[in-house]
Amino acid sequence: MALRQALSLSFLSLALWQPLWEELLFRGVLQGQLGRHSWGQHACCGMTTANGITSLLFALGHFWRHPPLWALAVLAPSLLFGYVRDRHTSVYPAIALHALYNASYFWLTGLP
């Protein structure tokens, strides 16, 4: 496979596939279910408890593939994606933001 094709496949995975399934699973299912509980709707600084728990689990999920500091660095954008999900009561804006975030990372670093 040519380098250009490999980079294209990496880009598609990083910028489209991963944000789609991660947001559907974490923000759509998990945060949605946690947000149904009254305690999940409590907010501090605009961030709900459901978002906080989901974001912690999202960051923990990155430990299997990334160094610890790298995985922890996922926490801040995850909180933002969760905030967008709560603010718009839809997972689709969070998917779009996550895709843009990942695509920007790919373009800036050239790393998948």
Q: How far apart are CA 82 and CA 70, in angstroms?
A: 19
Rama region for 111: left / alpha / beta (φ>0; ψ in -120 to 50; rest): beta
Nearest Cα residue to 50 out of 37, 61, 40, 38:
40
For the segment 47-72, what is each residue's pLDDT rounded down to a tens digit? Answer: 999 999 999 999 999 998 889 998 89
- Token pair listed for 44: 């501090």
pLDDT tens-digit map of 21-43: 999 999 999 999 999 999 999 99
Banded model confidence at residue 77, pLDDT cuts 50, 70, 90: very high
Helix ranges restricted to H, 2-88: 3-12, 18-22, 32-34, 49-61, 68-72, 75-88
